[in-house]
Amino acid sequence: MKLSRIADILNCELRGDGNVDISGVAGIDEAQPHQLTFVANPKYIPKIKTTRAGAIILGPDAPTTPIPTLVAKDPYLTFAKAIEIFYQPPRPLPGIHPTATISDGVILGENPSIGANVFIGKNSRLGNNCVLYPNVTIYPHVEIGDDFIAHSNSVVREYCKIGHRVILQNGAVIGADGFGFAPQADGPYYKIVQSGIVVLEDDVEIGANTCVDRATVGETRIGRGTKLDNLVQIGHGSRVGEDTAMAAQAGIAGSTKVGNRVFLGGQVGAAGHLTIGDGVVAIAQTCIPKSVEPGKIISGSPAMDLNLWKKNYILMLNFPELVQTVKRLAKEVEELKKDRDQT
Amino acid sequence: MKLSRIADILNCELRGDGNVDISGVAGIDEAQPHQLTFVANPKYIPKIKTTRAGAIILGPDAPTTPIPTLVAKDPYLTFAKAIEIFYQPPRPLPGIHPTATISDGVILGENPSIGANVFIGKNSRLGNNCVLYPNVTIYPHVEIGDDFIAHSNSVVREYCKIGHRVILQNGAVIGADGFGFAPQADGPYYKIVQSGIVVLEDDVEIGANTCVDRATVGETRIGRGTKLDNLVQIGHGSRVGEDTAMAAQAGIAGSTKVGNRVFLGGQVGAAGHLTIGDGVVAIAQTCIPKSVEPGKIISGSPAMDLNLWKKNYILMLNFPELVQTVKRLAKEVEELKKDRDQT
Amino acid sequence: MKLSRIADILNCELRGDGNVDISGVAGIDEAQPHQLTFVANPKYIPKIKTTRAGAIILGPDAPTTPIPTLVAKDPYLTFAKAIEIFYQPPRPLPGIHPTATISDGVILGENPSIGANVFIGKNSRLGNNCVLYPNVTIYPHVEIGDDFIAHSNSVVREYCKIGHRVILQNGAVIGADGFGFAPQADGPYYKIVQSGIVVLEDDVEIGANTCVDRATVGETRIGRGTKLDNLVQIGHGSRVGEDTAMAAQAGIAGSTKVGNRVFLGGQVGAAGHLTIGDGVVAIAQTCIPKSVEPGKIISGSPAMDLNLWKKNYILMLNFPELVQTVKRLAKEVEELKKDRDQT
């Protein structure tokens, strides 16, 4: 496709030769002369000189380059849209595969695509345009909105409620029993029936093998537009706000409230019954043992202010020397005291 | 249901109006006038004044309240039982779904409920009242006791042995190959056949997407009444005691022995070939590199006594100041020495 | 089986009675008189005196013992091969189960074994001797080599490429969408189509419920002979070298390059866009925030040299005393200064 045509589709200003033929997109290190790349992070601007890309998407303030350029206010977002010009994931066949089991009382919207060995339990309702890949299981009494995509081996448990345009990656588990056991004086744990549900609001995406547990009573809720990466754990009764993102292997224990536009890095853990304010950012592997005020950037296990954590890290690299210094000072002070006392 | 009837069922003393109509249970913050709530942790006693609940379960020593009250020795356990009055999870249909595959030599107990697309491999034996939700896979030569519940996408691998009243949440994997590879002098790893099994004793519950690996030789064993949360990893050849609990994303490497009534918090990791004594408590994200004596409470990466860890955390908040102080002292001591030497 | 026969099969020198009857293998603590055990790690040599094993595999330099002995250059590797004499995992029936769905355009090699409810999407190609256990899902347009083993509930997503002799444990997810979302100035995240693929080279093994994400553009690649344990996360666009191993619950974020013969311990996390050099070893729970030079051994959150980390750990055990010492010194120096100024 001619670059000028791509500029039109993406609504970008074109600088340089619009006749370049582009057949795909690629990262700046891998891009070939027939490919389109981008720079969004100023850190990568020096790579503009060395990339082999045939064309590049740049912000309005980027340095000029002989490479034919699409100028975009938001180069990363524009790159995201450029990918769609060249690739669309294969959509499974419409209709209901003969090996699928649709139980009594199920209501399906228009234009369903339901793959092999899918099971939908009784009285569940799905909106229009649902895509259920092979081996998906929907338990009974589930309510799901329009444009639902459930990849193979994902599961939605009984009574859960899912909004519009929700995506479940493979192996995602929505609504398994929360980890609720009452200790008994005479020994074994008593299993607490998990009577609550999970609510996924509109535009939520749940990563592969991620688990969102149903509540003991009431609900566990994931807010509109929130994205969870793979292997994330959401404990029972938690409430996650809108447009929040959690990277892989992050986990929050039960009954914790996470605000809007929060970002939890990979392997971050948060204890139960906390409030994590709007806009909080937690660096990877942070352990959050108590509530965090809105807007804080935290790191460490346990969490502290990111700047303090960075300082401490550098100081820790010289910790043995510090201890040696203190030991030496203790000796010298002892001598000074002795000398003083003798004079 | 009248509160007086609930008091009867739960065997509690009733204080106040037994005619209140209760239609469900809820947490103290969410409870409405038609709902029953509870306070077990003294920390939440102040909330008794502000809750909108129509009735409340309290311990014998709780302050009196105008809210109709059920007095229980163990309010948390009583609340757990109250939930069951109002909610029972839907049980799938009895019988064997026509799309299930029951291989040759399988022996099923009485009253099975086997869902769509379930596969049971040859010569496997299941006890009475088993519930296998859709898309469960049982490999050949497995032995399972009575009252087994396996949620969709859980798997039990070949030759594993499972006791009575065991529950597998969705995606749990029992008996996948342990991570055993012998390095070879000339390069690639050599896969070690994992010939052992997994044994889950009675009353074990395994969380969603949790993995318990089969042993290289012998067995991996999870003791009676032990509960594993979601996304937990149990390495091959480990032995976990009775009534132990591990929170989500905890992991123990191979050949480690974990005692009885241990609690591992979320994201705790333990190295291989250790012994973790009875009653040990490890706070979330603790890293356990060596054996731990019974009864210890530990935290940190790597683990130390919880009290020391707490002290150190507070001290670390002022670590930069400490380093500044030491630098200043070093200068001052230098001057003092100079002054002394000049006098 | 006579020990002398086992010596022949394993190509070992026999010391002692070759007539001992051996019916299996076991670890040194559990081995019984009819079992063969081994010692590879010198740490366990003292156990030779107390084991009940009927025969033992030892290195050429091990102390002599009255127990009949197989002398092997590499006792651990020889033990691995000994296990195979006594145990082979049951192989499922050859052929295609009637409940499996093989879509149009699928090409299967010779001697397939395809279990119940398996789904293979259109135009996918598999080599010879593939074993797909029940409930495996292969999306369309996948290419897979010979001797592929996919355990129940594993998934390979569209367009991914898999080499020869690859093993997927249960619930492994190859090629789910990477975690790619472009922030938009006016709020919600914009999902970036993940147009790339995953490539698993020859002899790779992927653990249970482990996720290897497809790339945004280009590919995510796992090198020849690399082994990933359970619940591992590989972010989109990452490249892992050859003969590398990652223990359970380790995770690497997107676009990170991991070298050859690297070892990441359990729960290790690495940030995105890093280079981790050949031969790096990261101890369990290490957090890797920046690139690591080849051959380094690191530990800590964030990572530092292992030796420094060990020193710091021991010093931290006395951190409160250190702080006390500094406080005392500050007071004493103050007094010394006062005394000096008064003289």
Say how many CA atoms lie within 13 Å of C267 toward its Cβ: 36
Mean pLDDT of B203-229: 98
- CB of C209 within 8 Å of a chain B CB? The answer is yes
Spatial neighbors of B111 by CB under 8 A, at least 6 apart, are: B94, B128, B129
Element (H, E) at B320: helix B319-342
Q: Report the gap between the CA of C208 and the closest CA in chain B (Å).
A: 7
Mean pLDDT of B102-108: 97
Neighbours of A265 (CB within 10 A): 23
Burial label for A239, CB within 10 Å (0-12, 13-18, 19+), is buried
Mean pLDDT of C57-85: 94
Confidence of residue C91 (pLDDT cuts 50, 70, 90): confident
Read off the tokens for B26: 């809820």
State the pLDDT at residue C186.
77
Burial label for A172, CB within 10 Å (0-12, 13-18, 19+), is buried
Chain A interface mutation, best of C114, C137, C305, highest count of A Cβ atoms under 10 Å: C137
Cα C92 to Cα C102: distance, rounded to the nearest angstrom: 18
Mean pLDDT of B125-152: 98
Confidence of residue B219 (pLDDT cuts 50, 70, 90): very high
Confidence of residue C342 (pLDDT cuts 50, 70, 90): confident
Catalytic status, residue B141: no
Nearest one of C83, C82, C80, C53 to C65, comparing CA atoms: C53
- CB of C220 within 8 Å of a chain A CB? The answer is no
* pLDDT > 70 in chain A, percent: 100
Q: Is C120 helix (H, G, I), strand (E, B) or coil?
A: strand
Q: Which of residues 21-60 of C touch A (CB under 8 A)?
A: none
| pLDDT tens for each residue of B26-66 | 999 999 999 999 999 888 999 999 999 999 999 998 888 99
Q: List the Cα angle A208/A213/A218 in 5-degree steps.
A: 145
pLDDT of A187 strictly over 90? no
Cα A27 to Cα A17: distance, rounded to the nearest angstrom: 21
State the pLDDT at residue B244.
98
Cα B231 to Cα B309: distance, rounded to the nearest angstrom: 26
Cα C249 to Cα C230: distance, rounded to the nearest angstrom: 6
pLDDT of A91 strictly over 90? no
State the pLDDT at residue A226.
98
Q: Tell me the chain B residues in contact with residue A192 when contact means C-beta distances shorter than 8 Å.
A: 80, 83
Q: Report the gap between the CA of B6 and the closest CA in chain A (Å).
A: 17
Q: Report the gap between the CA of A225 and the closest CA in chain B (Å).
A: 24
| pLDDT tens for each residue of A31-67 | 999 999 999 988 899 999 999 999 999 999 888 899 9
- CB of B249 within 8 Å of a chain C CB? The answer is yes
pLDDT of B72 strictly over 80? yes
Neighbours of B331 (CB within 10 A): 11
State the pLDDT at residue B126.
98
Read off the tokens for B311: 């002290």
Q: Is C16 helix (H, G, I), strand (E, B) or coil?
A: coil
Q: Tell me the chain B residues in contact with residue C116 when contact means C-beta distances shorter than 8 Å.
A: 101, 117, 119
Q: Tell me the chain B residues in contact with residue A176 when contact means C-beta distances shorter than 8 Å.
A: 151, 169-170, 207-208, 230
Which of C119, C158, C213 is closest, CB to CB, to A90?
Answer: C158
Of A260-264, B65-69, C183-187, C205-209, minimum mean pLDDT range: C183-187
Q: Is C319 helix (H, G, I), strand (E, B) or coil?
A: helix
Q: Is B45 helix (H, G, I), strand (E, B) or coil?
A: helix
| pLDDT tens for each residue of B292-333 | 999 999 999 899 999 999 999 999 999 999 999 999 999 999
Query: ipTM of the predicted structure?
Result: 0.96
* pLDDT > 70 in chain B, percent: 100
pLDDT of A201 strictly over 90? yes
Strands B297-299 and B304-305: antiparallel
Strands C275-276 and B245-246: unpaired
| pLDDT tens for each residue of B166-175 | 999 999 999 9
- CB of C323 within 8 Å of a chain B CB? The answer is yes
Rg (CA), chain B: 27
Q: Report the gap between the CA of C326 and the closest CA in chain B (Å).
A: 7
Cα C85 to Cα C75: distance, rounded to the nearest angstrom: 15
Nearest one of B57, A181, B175, A309 to C300, comparing CA atoms: A309
Q: DSSP letter string over C147-197?
A: S-EE-TT-EE-TT-EE-TT-EE-TT-EESPPP--EEEETTEEEEEPP---E
Read off the tokens for C229: 């344990």
pLDDT of B186 strictly over 80? no
Mean pLDDT of A235-244: 98
State the pLDDT at residue A185.
83
- CB of A153 within 8 Å of a chain C CB? The answer is yes
Cα A149 to Cα A165: distance, rounded to the nearest angstrom: 7
C-beta separation of C284 from C300 below 8 A = no
State the pLDDT at residue C86.
95
* pLDDT > 70 in chain C, percent: 100
C-beta separation of A155 from B153 below 8 A = yes
Q: Tell me the chain B residues in contact with residue C171 when contact means C-beta distances shorter than 8 Å.
A: 153, 155, 171, 173, 209, 211
Classify the C-alpha dihedral B188-B190-B191-B192 as positive or negative.
negative
Cβ-Cβ contacts under 8 Å between A and C: the total is 204
State the pLDDT at residue C341.
86
Confidence of residue A342 (pLDDT cuts 50, 70, 90): confident
